[in-house]
Amino acid sequence: MRLFPSDRYPLPLPDGHRFPAAKYALLRRRLEAHAAAGAAFEFVEPHAATDDELVRVHDRAYVGRVLSGRLSREEVRRIGFPWSPELVARSLRSTGAAVDAAAAALADGVAASLAGGTHHAGTDWGEGYCVFNDTAVAAREMQARAAVRRVLILDCDVHQGNGTAQIFTGDDSVFTMSIHGARNFPLRKHPGSLDVGLDDGTGDEAYLAALAAALRESFTRARADLVLYIAGADPYAGDRLGRLAVTKQGLAERDRLVLETAARSGLPVAIVCGGGYCEDLESIVDIHAATMLRAAETAR
Find the part of the chain contacting Zn ion (CB under 5 A) among 31-39, 134-142, 227-235, 243-251: 227-235
Of the pair 184, 298, the CB lying nearest Zn ion is at 184
Quick one: which of 126, 193, 275, 296 contacts Zn ion (CB under 5 A)?
A: 275
Tell me how far, at minimum, the Cβ of 211 lies from Zn ion, in Å.
Answer: 16
Question: Using CB under 5 A, which of the segments 60-68, 88-96, 149-157, 172-180 binds Zn ion?
Answer: 149-157
- Applying CB under 5 A, which part among 60-68, 134-142, 155-163, 287-295 lies near Zn ion? 155-163
253 binds Zn ion (CB under 5 A): no
Minimum separation from the CB atom of position 78 to Zn ion (A): 15
The answer to whether residue 157 forms part of the interface with Zn ion (CB under 5 A) is yes
3-state secondary structure labels for all residues of the chain = CEEECCCCCCCCCCCCCCCCCCHHHHHHHHHHHHHHCCCCCEECCCCCCCHHHHHCCCCHHHHHHHHHCCCCHHHHHHHCCCCCHHHHHHHHHHHHHHHHHHHHHHHHCEEEECCCCCCCCECCECECCECCCHHHHHHHHHHHCCCCCCEEEEECCCCCCHHHHHHCCCCCCEEEEEEEECCCCCCCCCCCCEEEEECCCCEHHHHHHHHHHHHHHHHHHHCCCEEEEECCCCCECCECCCCCEECHHHHHHHHHHHHHHHHHCCCCEEEECCCCCECCHHHHHHHHHHHHHHHHHHHC
Residues 187 and 176: their CA atoms lie apart, in Å, by 18
**Segment contacting Zn ion by CB under 5 A, of 43-51, 61-69, 158-166, 187-195:** 158-166
Q: Of the listed pieces 68-76, 146-154, 230-238, 289-297, which binds Zn ion according to CB under 5 A?
A: 230-238
**Shortest reach from residue 234's CB to Zn ion, in Å:** 4
Among 155, 225, 234, 239, binds Zn ion (CB under 5 A): 234
**Least distance to Zn ion from the beta carbon of 159, Å?**
4
- Tell me: does residue 159 bind Zn ion (CB under 5 A): yes
Residue sitting closest to Zn ion (CB): 275
- The radius of gyration computed from the CA coordinates of the chain, to the nearest angstrom, equals 17
What is the nearest approach in angstroms of Zn ion to the Cβ of residue 144?
28
**CB 265, min distance to Zn ion, A:** 26
Task: Please give the residues from 2 up to 31 whose contact with Zn ion meets the rule CB under 5 A.
Answer: none
Which residues does residue 290 pair with via DSSP β-bridges, in sequence order? none
CB of 238 to Zn ion, least distance (A): 14
Write out the binding residues for Zn ion, residues 280-299 only, by CB under 5 A: none
Question: Can you name the residues that pair with 100 across neighbouring β-strands?
Answer: none
Where do contacts with Zn ion occur on this chain (CB under 5 A)? 157, 159, 234, 275
